[in-house]
A and B are shown apart, each in its own frame.
Chain A
Amino acid sequence: MSHVRIRGLSKSFGEVAAVRELNLDIEPGELLAVLGPSGCGKTTLLRTIAGFEQPEAGCVVVSDEVVAGPGRMVPPEKRRVGMVFQDYALFPHLSVEGNVAFGLFTREREEREGLTRRTLELVGLQHKASCPVHELSGGERQRVALARALAPEPELVLLDEPFSNLDATLRAGLRREVELILRDAEATALLVTHDQEEALSLADRLAVMRDGQIVQVGPPVEVYGSPATRWAAQFVGEVNVLSGVARGDGVETELGVFDLRAPASGSVQVAVRPEQLELRARRPTDGSDAGNAEVIDREFRGHDVLYRLRHEGGKTLLVQLPSLELHDVGETVFVRPASSASVTPLAD
């Protein structure tokens, strides 16, 4: 088990700064997901850790060895960092077994065969060992790519958008499968993606990246529930940003009072997720018929429904509810905080 420390890492291409003074720690055995939009520099970060790009400043330390830093650049083949490429990059001239054994060429024959067989069993492809790779399905190719990266028992496995080439129907199942394989192998892994659902469901910890820097790191629940900035809130899921006045344990907004996770005071902005709001057809306390919002759009998703409302204050609100009870477009409704909704003030 190994840990990775990245300090002050910078890399630019001409005028464009892809990674700017970035700091990040990866703890032993964890699965860390870096989530960011296209062009935020996450692939460059990955390639710099792997040794395909040389940083201009900062350092990368893998298990106490500086692999990139001032005056030091360990070539990729000496880093013990495995990589799973977006397009898998399987060697077309080799069989499944040949691909998996590729990185074991310095080992003794017995060890090589043992590791290859065990890794193939780990990904459940032992029956396809001698298959040429072009006969495999997309999901199988991905598992070969993963096995190939894991076989040499690297200090760190990097995964570059590993699910982007797969059908939506395959994706969810494979996500779980890959997660289990990585945990079985007790690998330390860094996964890069622009898909928030993928990052939230897979990772032990989530790092949100923007313009070459990490804006927030934490467990998925925390990053989703207490986004640090408005941008992070909007990037990781859908959100309503409300202004309010914090008084100790609660914050008073135009929709009512929300619990605060940590005491605060003064005027703040809070991120309220669509599922943290509730709708009522009638105002529950005084019995008046008039609602304070109008349903302007309804997106039916099967297990739940996303409503778009126009609030009496003029604001557009997103509300997500189970699809047990439906409201029609044009209906007036009353919006209020869900009972357990607690929020955190945004930093900006």
Chain B
Amino acid sequence: MGLRATIACALLVAGPLVGLPLSFVFAPDALDQFTGFLPEAVSATAALLLGVGLGTLVLGTSLAALVSFFEFPGRRWIEWALVLPLAMPGYVFTLFALGLDLPGIRSTLGAIGVFTLVLYPYVYLLARAAFLSQSRTLLEAARGLGLSRGRAILRVGLPMARPAIFGGVALALMEALADFGTVNLLGVRTFTDAIYRVWFNAFDRDAAMQLATLLVSVTLTLLALERLARGRARHAQLAARGEAVRAVRLRGLAAAAAALVPLALVAGVVLAPLAQLGAWSVESIRDGLLPVDFGPAVRNSLLLAGMSAVLVPVVALLLAYGARASRSKAAAGAARTATIGYGLPGSVVAVAVIVPLGWIERRIDGVAGTGLLLTGTVIGLFYAYLVRFLALAWGSIEASLLRIPRQLDEAARGLGADRLDVLARVHVPLLRSGLATAALLVFVEVMKELPATLLLRPLGGDTLAIAVWQATTESLFETAALPALMIVLVGLLPVALMIRLSGRGGASEVEASPVAPAAVDEPELVPA
């Protein structure tokens, strides 16, 4: 049962993506009529990646080093305040920047700035975790060999954290690649923007699929780099033992600067936009400037996000549980394949799922006359969300599942419970917090999602995110403000959850359990 369920899930999710490159076979000349698009998209995307990579690398790493190696007033608060920009979608910050008419914002450089400010927390979080896991003795050994504290950090601390830092940069770049709203609003013609224009303005699906294929290959490269870096980071952390690094207390001006610079950053990226959005929202309500279909947009957003928050974690649970129950390599591989949608741009996912869905739809229509049963309804949209966000849910469920020793499964089986009983009576209760986290993450991501929703929404299916984008393209900043504010406030939930969990040392109810990981009496006899 386990293996088949897992493989079915994997096919469901990865199938459409595998189909993308086929467009080169069926319509080899599709891109010819868009000769200008490709070079433009390549150069804009490359410039963007380079700039965002550098920006997040420098900003994220230096902030992480600041809070890890130094002690200053308010550090404990600042440490977590620096994560808040994660809740700010790029297009919402762009709305704020455009509304203030910041000079030079409508340019590649402007887009790089926006992405650096909202994406640096990926680098910051991973670098900080790496710094904190470093052992004090290593830095002290460097000091003993004659290095100053600053040089010890540069020559020992930073190189040891390098895999984690690169992992964070890769994540930030994947987010930048996946973005549509920011680049579209700022007029930066990257791949995602090109896909949108080819799709909507020229109605050329083959060309859109081919552009998507090219974009996927860049994303998958980044994904591979990130996984590689994660593997290395694990080794680096294994090597680290002993007491954690002791922070040095800063005094006087240095301490003031250490506290004020991060605070100014958070104020500029989160607090100021929130205040401005709040002010505009009030204006929009007072002057009757709300989006025309504001009520339906709220309802659509909540319905889509709420239903996805049930659907996606359930599929992820089946996937993870199937792989666990069947214990085979094939199932583990299938589970990995199914999580490939992670970090893929929503526009790519939309383009990828529409073709198989359209094909099935025409078959059904031929028999039952149901019309646009899949692509014209929310079914297509849910499918795209599933492909796009399955990995997100799977990650948090799998992490909790791994902490449940297999002996618990066996103990339950020995007491007369079959596999479904074990799932219902042992795993689900123990996975409660993992499932809740998965649901929350999916809910928030679907609320924020723009490109896939834009391409696949049924008629009258506008969401809050679409309302923000629509109004911003027309420079109706007051109109965009209230939906944008709602998106940011919802987005703060998982960030708050993350902060709370980290505050508790990340302990979950399973970790605090008395069950030690299965110690096997005869390790050489247990199949790997």
Contact = CB atoms under 8 A, between A and B. Distances in A.
A89 B411 contact: yes
Contacts, number: 117
Interface stretch (B112-120, B156-164, B520-528): B520-528
Interface stretch (A25-33, A36-44, A262-270, A320-328): A36-44
B412 A86 contact: no
A39 B524 contact: yes
Tell me whether chain B's interface is mostly helix, strand or loop, or mixed.
loop
B411 A44 contact: no
B516 interface: yes
A77 B430 CA distance: 21
- Most chain A beta carbons < 10 A, residue from B407, B414, B515, B527: B414
Contacts of A78: 416
Contacts of B267: none
A43 B429 contact: no
A200 to B, nearest CB: 20
Contacts of B425: 102, 105
Contact of A91 (B408, B512, B527): B408
Interface residues of B, number: 33
B368 to A, nearest CB: 41
A43 B513 contact: no
A91 B522 contact: no
Given A43-B521, A77-B418, A134-B514, A85 B413 contact: no
B513 A13 contact: no
A225 interface: no
Nearest to A80: B416
A16 B525 CA distance: 7
Contact of B514 (A81, A82, A90): A90
A89 B410 CA distance: 9
Contacts of A89: 405, 407-408, 410-411, 515
Given A87-B405, A91-B426, A152 B416 contact: yes
Nearest to B518: A87
B413 A134 contact: no
Interface in B500-520: 509-510, 512-516, 518-520
A18 B522 contact: yes
- Most chain B beta carbons < 10 A, residue from A13, A38, A83, A89: A89
A7 interface: no
Interface string B475-486: 000000000000
B513 to A, nearest CB: 3
Interface string A144-165: 0000110010000000110000
Contact of B411 (A14, A85, A136): A85
Nearest to B525: A18
A93 B522 contact: no
Interface residues of A, number: 45
A105 B416 contact: yes
Interface in A139-187: 141, 148-149, 152, 160-161
Given A86-B519, A87-B515, A92 B414 contact: no
Contact of B415 (A88, A103, A133): A103
B414 A136 contact: no
A88 B410 CA distance: 11
Nearest to B411: A89
B512 A134 contact: yes
Contact of B515 (A18, A40, A43, A92): A92
A288 interface: no
- Most chain A beta carbons < 10 A, residue from B426, B521, B525: B525
Given A89-B410, A89-B411, A93-B429, A106 B416 contact: yes
A77 B410 CA distance: 9
Contacts of A134: 512-514
A92 B516 contact: no
A38 B521 contact: yes
A87 B417 CA distance: 20
Contacts of B518: 87
B416 A103 contact: yes
A274 interface: no
Interface in B396-435: 405, 407-408, 410-418, 421, 425-426, 429-430
A51 B249 CA distance: 60
Nearest to A141: B514
A14 B527 CA distance: 8
A79 to B, nearest CB: 8
A13 B515 contact: no
Given A18-B522, A18-B525, A38-B521, A76 B414 contact: yes
A14 B525 CA distance: 9
B407 to A, nearest CB: 4
Contacts of B415: 77, 82, 102-103, 148-149, 152
Contacts of A39: 522, 524-525
Given A77-B418, A93-B430, A52 B527 contact: no
A152 B414 CA distance: 10
A18 B526 CA distance: 9
Contacts of A343: none
- Most chain A beta carbons < 10 A, residue from B413, B509, B522: B522
Nearest to A76: B413
Contacts of B417: 77, 102-103, 105
B519 A87 contact: yes
B284 to A, nearest CB: 48
Interface string A82-125: 11011111111100000000110110000000000000000000
Contacts of A256: none
Contacts of A133: 513-514
A40 B521 CA distance: 10
Contacts of B408: 89, 91
Contact of B414 (A18, A50, A93): A50
A75 interface: yes
A41 B521 contact: no
A50 B514 contact: no
A96 to B, nearest CB: 12
Given A102-B415, A152-B416, A86 B514 contact: no
26 contacts: A16-B524, A18-B522, A38-B521, A39-B522, A41-B525, A42-B522, A50-B410, A75-B413, A76-B410, A77-B415, A83-B410, A83-B411, A87-B516, A88-B515, A89-B411, A90-B411, A92-B513, A92-B515, A105-B421, A133-B514, A148-B411, A149-B414, A152-B415, A152-B416, A160-B521, A161-B521
Given A43-B525, A102-B417, 12 more contacts: A13-B526, A39-B525, A44-B525, A50-B410, A50-B414, A75-B413, A85-B407, A85-B410, A89-B405, A93-B429, A102-B425, A136-B514
